[in-house]
Amino acid sequence: MTALPDVLSCIQPTADLHIGNYFGAVANWVQLQETHDCVYGVVDMHAITMPYDPDELRVNTRNMVIDLLACGIDPEKSTLFIQSLVPEHCELCWILSSQCSYGELSRMTQFKDKSAKLERESADEFISAGLFIYPVLQAADILAYRAASVPVGKDQEQHLELSRSIGRRFNQRFDTDFFPEPKALYTQTPRIMSLAQPDSKMSKSAGVKHYIGLFEEEASIRKKVKTAVTDTGELAEGQYMSAGVGNLFTILRACEADAVADQLETDYKADQLKYSELKGAVADSLVELTGRFRARRDELLADADGVDAQVREMSAKAREIAAETLRGVRKFAGFPAM
């Protein structure tokens, strides 16, 4: 029997990562692989539920793999796979769809949000059935590896609970304990806000001035930090510092520049802090961090064929686990053995 992982987590192959993605998820992945047996996936099949360009998807998927490796995901410690190279996900999704109700899917908030966005942006685009049923594919992503834990944020709890419900229903239907209930793995991750609108989460969709790319050039990083919003008016009762200033301190501490942050916070409390000094420290820390990532990314791009071969090998390893799960599922479901 193939050993099952402790931790499973996946990411869609969107365009380049920004520092909010890194501090909010990827940095945690890098830390978890030091203490857990981890399987991480780039879920390209989820990306087709919304309007997309096939050539861009191929490029974005490959780039996401390279970016994750550049950030510190280590093939010697973790398994990093591409979802479309593990077709067992789709077969499991279909089988599990019979253990999920229409009502459960209709209550998924992301379906409501994304379908509403499509209706607002284009009258020509239809809302695909894939967008409606993709939470079942997400459940298949998790249950295919029967992992003990899934790192999640508060906005992902609904989908993990659906995965647990589907696995539980499968077990009850076929009188088995085949699927363990994946536990939510809550870890302390900083919430990085927009530089231009610090009361909103950092997002690329808001525009270039709102985020810092994880592989962005030094001059651009310094310019964006220099123009970041700090004070926006009177502080609310009980508020310690403005959202903009607090966000800059959060970024500084996320970069592990705690000693500098402590000194600057002491200055802030004494009403002696110059925001130019805070912004300079934040820019320096980000430039150091992203510089390391850019250097590693350049090394990986220089051996892109080797990276492609490596991720196919890791995907084959992931497929062994998923295939073993499918053999058990097919037996319980009443299908012939493969």
Binding residues: 12-14, 20-21, 141, 153-155, 192, 201-205
Both tokens of 125, joined, read 């685009």
Is 317 a residue of the active site? no
User: What number of other Cβ atoms are within 10 A of residue 322's Cβ?
Assistant: 25
Give the three-state DSSP class for 74: coil
Is 117 a residue of the active site? no
Q: Which residues contact 285 (CB under 8 A, 6 or more apart)?
A: 251, 252, 255, 257, 260
Asked if 267 contacts 273 with a C-beta cutoff of 8 angstroms, the reply is yes
Cα 90 to Cα 97: distance, rounded to the nearest angstrom: 10
For the chain, the 3-state helix, strand and coil shares in percent, each to the nearest 5, are 60, 5, 35
* Segment (H or E) for 219: helix 218-226
Asked if 69 contacts 40 with a C-beta cutoff of 8 angstroms, the reply is no
Indicate the burial class of 254 (C-beta count within 10 angstroms; 0-12, 13-18, 19 or more).
buried
Q: Which of the residues 77, 117, 183, 201 is marked catalytic? A: 201
Is 204 a residue of the active site? yes
Asked if 60 contacts 14 with a C-beta cutoff of 8 angstroms, the reply is yes
Give the three-state DSSP class for 177: coil
Q: Which of the residues 77, 204, 226, 331 is marked catalytic? A: 204
Cα 77 to Cα 86: distance, rounded to the nearest angstrom: 20
Q: Which of the residues 114, 226, 317, 331 is marked catalytic? A: 114
* Segment (H or E) for 305: helix 304-333
Indicate the burial class of 281 (C-beta count within 10 angstroms; 0-12, 13-18, 19 or more).
buried
Asked if 8 contacts 39 with a C-beta cutoff of 8 angstroms, the reply is yes
Give the three-state DSSP class for 255: coil
The binding site for L-tryptophan comprises: 141
The binding site for ATP comprises: 12-14, 20-21, 153-155, 192, 201-205
Q: Which residues are catalytic?
A: 114, 201, 204
